Amino acid sequence: MLTASKIKFIEFMMSADVLRFGEFKTKSGRLSPYFVNTGNYRTGAQISELGKFYAQCIKDTCGNNFDAMFGPAYKGIPLATSAAGALAREFDIDKPFFFNRKEAKDHGEGGSLVGYKPQDGDRIIIIEDVITAGTAVRETVPVLLSAAKVTVTDMFISVNRCEIGQNPNKTAVMEVKDEFGIDVHSIVDVRDLCEYLKENGNYTQVLAAMERYIEQYCKF
């Protein structure tokens, strides 16, 4: 259902040039009629507002029932940072956050993780932008499990593309749940985007391309 908060988030992404329509090659190699690039958030006001959307989704789903949040390098770093700030500011939920380096540091404190140091028994949530084929998740989970005996319970993303993963009968989100036991929660999904385009009425060609793409690659 396309709620007022979802419309607000979609228009927020469009105003920041984060949600774009056209033809884009995704990490999975598919030619997509839309693309979500959270790297286009570039102002303090934008990242502050984005954090509120993530914080609301985290609060509604997990409440206070987690120990730390992880932002995978690189795009997950500002996402986790802004979400942590908004959780503390808006809901008085003050949780530590951390992220990884692509290459381990061999001087100073060393290691590949920056910020909070995971402890055995921690319940960790991941903050990311989107899931297309699940490739990034498969790279991220080993990093966390090698840091400590943690449980990765939930993952929060901006947009669920609802696309099939390696198994043609399952979406990438379903595969993440089956392989790692992680529940993925999105602020909006591809159906919300299509519903928005329908209600707007100015995106006839884009909507047609979206519907063709969904027919070929998506599963609900």
The answer to whether the annotation marks 55 as part of a ligand binding site is no
The answer to whether the annotation marks 138 as part of a ligand binding site is no
Whole-number Cα distances in Å, 11 to 5, 20, 62, 85: 10, 11, 26, 22
The answer to whether the annotation marks 134 as part of a ligand binding site is yes
Name the pTM for this structure: 0.92
Q: For position 111, what pLDDT does the model report?
A: 63
For residue 130, how many C-alpha atoms fall within 13 Å in the half-sphere facing its CB? 22
25 part of the active site: no
The answer to whether the annotation marks 109 as part of a ligand binding site is no
Q: Give the start-to-end residue ranges of the domains of the chain.
A: 4-217
Residues contacting residue 102 through CB under 8 Å, at least 6 positions apart? 73, 74
- What is the CATH code for 4-217? 3.40.50.2020
105 part of the active site: yes
- For residues 220 and 164, give the distance between their C-alpha atoms in angstroms, rounded to a whole number: 9
Q: Of residues 105, 149, 177, 219, which has the active-site annotation?
A: 105
Q: For position 109, what pLDDT does the model report?
A: 52
Q: Of residues 52, 107, 170, 219, which has the active-site annotation?
A: 107
The answer to whether the annotation marks 129 as part of a ligand binding site is yes
Q: For position 108, what pLDDT does the model report?
A: 47
CA 67 to chain centre: 19
**DSSP string for 146-177:** HHSS-EEEEEEEEEE--BB-SSTTSBHHHHHH
Ranges of residues in the chain with a pLDDT under 50 are 107-108, 110
